[in-house]
Structure 1
Amino acid sequence: MVWLPLHGQVIAKIPAQKGNRRWLHETVRVRSPQLNGDRWSLPRSCLVQLVTAAVDRYGLIVLWRDMSKLSRCTRACLEATGAECDCSCLGAHHRQDSEGWFERVGDAVVADLGECTRTAVVYGARGSDADAGVYDGELAGQHYRVDRAGRRGWPAAAQFMCAGCMSLRASVWDHCHTHGFVRAPLCNRCNTRYWSGWQAQRGRAVPSPNLDDSYYRWCPKHADARRLCSA
């Protein structure tokens, strides 16, 4: 859950898990993430990268956004080329919005706070109209990135079947947290199966040794890591 106030830093509430600071620093590219209680204070400039990375990590993200009631999508917004936006659309009406890596899921919830309006929008991975194929290492050897420039030329994960179960269309890009390389496209269930941060009754699959993890080989350094573990 992320909150973007009218002024000041982005506030993010991330499920408690070892390695969150490293994820924010290395993946979202926040130089000095600050933890206050159970919430992170992050620079406003990281918003789009944070949404992209969180969608890949959790499948969905809720963005709360405060905006002035005078805020509207202007001609400058409609003709912009970036993803940042000062109005309520989060760049959805821009000519190039975040390179298509996430999209709004469902309707926005709107609350009237007097001089400003607060909206809550759920974002998920953007789908694809293409028939799902089998992943064959199209991004092998590439470092995982969440910025627009870093993902230029990437295919959508939804263009492939999930490399873990091969029964559902993929929705997010999985990556090696140790070495930082893209591994394979996964469905949301497979992407969270090995993660024990939440229990199944809270919406996450329990960790399981029965899932095919051969897609780990798409990390160029995976074989070296296995040799070290077995030594």
Structure 2
Amino acid sequence: MRADLPVRIVDGHVVTDPGIGPVAMVWLPLHGEVIAKIPPRKGNRSWLHVTVGIRSPKFEDDRWTLPRSCLVRLVTAVIDRYGYVVLWRDMSKLSQCTRACLEATGVECQCSCLGAHHGQDAAGWFERVGDVVVADHGECTRTAVVYGPRGSDANAVVYDGKLVGVRYRVDRAGRRNWPTAAQFMCASCMTARASVWDHCHTHGFVRAPLCNRCNTRHWRGWQPQHGRATTSRNFDDSYYRWCPEYADEWRPCSA
């Protein structure tokens, strides 16, 4: 894994640069349900139910047990919320890498390439930014893969409301024909390229593309010394109005 990545795996531990904040971690075992550790935040259960579309998320101790079928939606939603996700996967040593691996549209993979080629022919809403083999467990190898929002090589432009009135979705069908957030400048600070799509939690509409720093400015309970992103001096919350039900007099839109 590259040493300059903002989220890295060092000696089996997740290390983040200052300002990144806590990162969600998801474990995909060879069999059974997905296990997720999501940074503590008010409304996590509602977020998993409403945004990710999980009927009955189960919580025990400090982790969530979720259906395997939600993996792609979960990774997409987590990246929009936290910027990055670390996906721990147990990969079978005996299975073979096939064309089906190259054409896969999700992040689940159990073939001999350890996910190196998985989904490389498929367009998605996130991309691999680093990975590392963590441990050998006999019949399987455990890997850690860091995913972040899909980037763009084009010059960033000012967002002009292309998704105004569109409901926020994290499934592939729901995001069909969406532009990537990285095609635009951050609608809040206008000084950095956007990376994720922000949405109104109250009404469920897409609001605007934001950079990670602006997107995380309302996180509660984390102090600067613990990695909380500081608010940009250029912060502008007028992008809230991209929610068609926004009202200045009572400001119902939550971050």
1:55 is paired with a residue whose SS is: helix
Inter-partner Cα distance in structure 1 for 2:83 and 2:166: 21
- What amino acid maps onto 1:93 in structure 2? G
- Does residue 83 (structure 1) correspond to residue 106 (structure 2)? The answer is yes
- What amino acid maps onto 2:59 in structure 1? L
Task: Give matches, 1:41-190, under 5 Å.
Answer: 41-80=65-104, 82-83=105-106, 85-87=108-110, 88-89=114-115, 92-93=118-119, 95-96=121-122, 99-190=123-214
- What amino acid maps onto 2:118 in structure 1? A
1:227 aligns with 249
- What amino acid maps onto 1:77 in structure 2? C
- Does residue 9 (structure 1) correspond to residue 25 (structure 2)? The answer is no
Aligned residues: 225
Question: Once the 2 structures are TM-superposed, how far is the Cα of residue 107 of structure 1 from its aligned partner?
Answer: 3.3
Question: Once the 2 structures are TM-superposed, how far is the Cα of residue 196 of structure 1 from its aligned partner?
Answer: 1.7
TM-score w.r.t. length of structure 2: 0.82
Question: Once the 2 structures are TM-superposed, how far is the Cα of residue 56 of structure 1 from its aligned partner?
Answer: 0.5
TM-score w.r.t. length of structure 1: 0.90
Query: Which deviates more, 67-76 or 20-29?
Result: 67-76
Inter-partner Cα distance in structure 2 for 1:90 and 1:13: 24
- What amino acid maps onto 1:89 in structure 2? G
Which of 47, 52, 58 aligns to 1:34? It is 58
**Unaligned stretches of 5+ in structure 2?**
1-24
1:215 is paired with a residue whose SS is: helix
1:151 is paired with a residue whose SS is: coil
Inter-partner Cα distance in structure 2 for 1:25 and 1:165: 31
**Unaligned stretches of 5+ in structure 1?**
none
- What amino acid maps onto 2:137 in structure 1? L
Contact 1:25/1:32 (<8 A) preserved: yes
2:3 aligns with none
- What amino acid maps onto 1:144 in structure 2? Y
- What amino acid maps onto 1:6 in structure 2? L
Query: Which deviates more, 188-197 or 124-133?
Result: 188-197
- What amino acid maps onto 2:222 in structure 1? W
Taking only aligned residues, the RMSD between alpha carbons, in angstroms, comes to 2.1
Distance 1:192 1:222, change over 3 A: same
As a proportion of its length, which structure holds more helix?
Answer: 1
1:105 is paired with a residue whose SS is: strand
Q: Which of the pair has the greater relative contact order for Cα pairs under 8 Å at 6+ separation?
A: 2
1:222 is paired with a residue whose SS is: coil
- What amino acid maps onto 1:11 in structure 2? I
